[in-house]
């Protein structure tokens, strides 16, 4: 009886524990290669409700079960505009999967400047307006551009501060990893 318990504990400690460590290590490696800070314990993403460029409300909680890419930006932010062409490519690559892409404009002037920039460059990714900084504050964003990655369980798993080349293979690998429920 005692030997059975010891054997059971041995299996848990030496078989299952290393498996969970290797999954965490793989996630850390993937995120690190892409220049994205992996969030280990995964904080639950706060709920928000914002309107898109057409006034239609979008609520984060409706995207549970999908991988969510939140990008906070503004029209006056040079680095934000610099990364937008690659964001468009990322959006086009994954839009038909369980992937939600939300570019959140934090322009105080509201819809007009965001709409003008999006239309001028013919971007097709979804844009939400956060002119009162509600979502910006909820996610404790201090600099833009900032991108938050949320897994299918609604947990924040990654954060990138500053512009990125979103069309890099390492980014696609992370998105695919998260789409497969984060399993190696």
CATH number at residue 16: 3.40.30.10
Residue 100 lies in a domain: yes
Is it true that the peptide bond before 143 is cis, omega within 30 degrees of 0?
no
Q: pLDDT 10s digit of each residue in the chain, 184 long?
A: 556 554 444 444 444 444 444 556 767 778 888 889 898 877 899 999 999 999 999 999 999 999 999 999 999 999 999 999 999 999 999 999 999 999 999 999 999 999 999 999 999 999 999 999 999 999 999 999 999 999 999 999 999 999 999 999 999 999 999 999 755 4
Cβ distance 74 to 154 under 8 Å? no
- For residue 60, give both structure tokens: 């984060």
Strand 99-105 and strand 127-129: the pairing is parallel
User: How many independent structural domains does the chain possess?
Assistant: 1
Which residues constitute the domain of residue 40? 2-179
Residue 184 lies in a domain: no
């Amino acid at each position: 009886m005692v030997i059975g318990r010891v054997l059971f504990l041995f299996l848990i400690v030496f078989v299952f524990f290393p498996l969970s460590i290797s999954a965490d290590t793989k996630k850390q490696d993937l995120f690190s290669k892409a220049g994205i800070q992996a969030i280990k314990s995964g904080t639950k993403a706060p709920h928000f409700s914002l309107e898109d460029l057409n006034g239609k409300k979008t609520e984060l909680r409706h995207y549970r079960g999908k991988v969510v890419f939140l990008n906070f930006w503004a029209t006056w932010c040079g680095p934000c505009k610099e990364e937008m062409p690659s964001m468009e490519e990322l959006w086009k690559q994954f839009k038909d999967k369980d992937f939600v892409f939300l570019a959140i404009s934090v322009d105080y002037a509201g819809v007009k400047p965001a709409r003008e920039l999006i239309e001028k460059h013919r971007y097709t990714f979804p844009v939400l307006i956060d002119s009162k900084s509600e979502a910006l504050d909820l996610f404790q964003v201090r600099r833009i551009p900032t991108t938050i990655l949320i897994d299918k369980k609604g947990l924040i798993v990654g954060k990138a501060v500053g512009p990125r080349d979103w069309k890099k293979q390492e980014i696609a690998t992370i998105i695919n990893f998260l789409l497969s429920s984060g399993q190696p």
